[in-house]
Amino acid sequence: MTYHLCLINFWRGLIKNIRSYMKTLKKHNFEAYLATQLFIRGKRGRLANLLYSYLRCIDDFVDNINIDKSEQKNLLIEQSKIINFLYNKNKPEIKNYLEEAISEVITYDIENGCGLKTVIKKMFEVFDFDIKRKNTIPDLEGLNEYSKKIGDAYTRALLFFLAPSLEYKEEYSISAYASHQVHLLRDFLIDKENGYFNISKEEIKKYHIKENLIQDKAFSCWLKDKIGNIKFLFIKGKKEFGVIPILKVRLTGHLYCSRYERVIKRIEKNGYKLR
């Protein structure tokens, strides 16, 4: 299937995607959905939904196991060009509703200090890493950087829409980084089936984990230590986020973290086994 035909098939009916992706958000991350409904209203709320839908659609394209890597890379290249054109205040050829959505988001972002530019850049780096890591076991530095970029992007986006006057600090993203580490554990088994390995070469070697990543004693030992480190990050992250003098930001951070803390409790209850 050619790249453009692939895009046409994948983006068919995109005019309904905003509503569709918000339903997905409500189903799979009710806490984030609740926060957006409660605290991000009006034009900012609509633009937050547009940005989420755009990035989610790119993510789905990159994660689709039926699409060739070359086509996925072509998508990132084409969309990156469009984004650069828009930030340079040029008018690229807009081919579909999805590109109209990101055009509207970037136009607003330029008018309000370009706080989302880093968010989009980091998410595209994340997408690129996902393409590269498919069917390979990543190194620890790459996997940690992957989670840190997602945590950074999520936190920057949250503050842009919730508290635009608040200056971003790297420490604010620790909880989001920890949350994505849990996300990787939660999706470990299904990601493994699709060719994505949420464990590093170094960890496999250190804990003597078997090649097929079977959940034996060594695997459980790694999982227990991993969760211990993540819980420490949550404590540290909550302390940093707790000093933010804006109640709705603190509440949103709490809602976001609580979802992943429940995942940790389930893993612990299962005797450090993934289900």
Q: Does residue 65 lie in a domain region? A: yes
Q: Does residue 242 carry a pLDDT above 70?
A: yes
Say if residue 186 is in the same domain as residue 110: no
Q: Is 127 exposed, middle or buried (0-12, 13-18, 19+ CB in 10 A)?
A: buried
- In a domain, residue 92? The reply is yes
The structure's pTM equals: 0.88
The helix (H) or strand (E) run that includes residue 172 is: none
Is the same domain home to 250 and 181?
yes
Using alpha carbons, select from 201, 152, 160 the residue that is nearest to residue 178: 152
What does the pLDDT average to over 184-194? Answer: 95
Q: What pLDDT score was predicted for residue 15?
A: 42
33: in domain? yes
Residues 232 and 175 in one domain: yes
229-239 confidence digits (pLDDT tens): 999 999 999 99
pLDDT tens, 132-150? 999 999 999 999 999 999 9
Task: Tell me which of 100, 134, 168 is where a domain ends.
Answer: 134
Q: How confident is the model at residue 179 (pLDDT cuts 50, 70, 90)?
A: very high
CA 131 to chain centre: 14
Distance between CA atoms of residues 209 and 225, nearest Å: 14
Per-residue pLDDT for 243 more than 80?
Answer: yes
Q: What is the pLDDT of residue 144?
A: 97
C-alpha distances out from residue 256 to 3, 176, 246, 249, Å: 36, 8, 16, 11
Question: DSSP label at 96?
Answer: S
Q: At 194, which helix (H) or strand (E)?
A: none
Specify if 141 maps to a domain: no
3-class SS shares of the chain: helix, strand, coil, % to 5: 75, 0, 25
| Pairwise CA distance, residues 50 & 187, whole Å | 25
What is the rounded distance in angstroms from the CA atom of residue 132 to the CA atom of residue 138?
9
User: Is 129 found in the same domain as 18?
Assistant: yes
pLDDT of the residue at 251: 86
Does any domain span residue 250? Answer: yes
Q: Are 51 and 18 in contact (CB under 8 A)?
A: no
pLDDT at 50 over 50: yes
**Whether residue 130 sits in one domain with residue 243:** no
Number of domains in the chain: 2
Give pLDDT, residue 7. 53
The residues near 32 (Cβ < 8 Å, ≥ 6 apart) are 25, 255, 256, 259
Q: Which of 125, 142, 147 is nearest to 202 (CA)?
A: 142
Q: What is the pLDDT of residue 13?
A: 46
| Both tokens assigned to 221 | 């030992």
265: containing domain? 146-275
The structure tokens listed for 25 are: 């958000």
Type of residue found at 57: C
Among candidate residues 103, 134, 165, the one where a domain is terminated: 134
Tokens of 254: 């709490």
Residues 239 and 275 in one domain: yes
Q: Which helix (H) or strand (E) holds 216?
A: none
Of 85, 112, 134, which residue sits at a domain end? 134
pLDDT tier for residue 265 given thresholds of 50, 70 and 90: very high
pLDDT exceeds cutoff 60 at 17: no
Of residues 45 and 114, more confidence is placed in 114
Residues 123 and 252 both lie in one domain: no
Residue corresponding to tokens 């940093």: 240
pLDDT mean over 172-186: 96
Confidence of residue 228 (pLDDT cuts 50, 70, 90): very high
Indicate if 113 and 154 belong to the same structural domain.
no
In angstroms, the first-to-last Cα distance of the chain is 35
Please give the Cα distance from 197 to 186 (Å, whole number). 12
Alpha carbon distances (Å) from 107 to 4, 97, 115, 168: 26, 15, 12, 21
Any domain includes 110: yes
Phi and psi angles of residue 196, each rounded to the nearest 5 degrees, phi first: -115, 125
Note whether 108 and 155 are same-domain residues.
no
Q: What is the reported pLDDT for 27?
A: 52
Considering the domain boundaries, does residue 139 fall inside one?
no
**Each residue of 195-227: pLDDT tens digit?**
999 999 999 999 999 878 889 999 999 999 999
Q: Report pLDDT for 23.
A: 56
Residue 167 carries which DSSP code? P
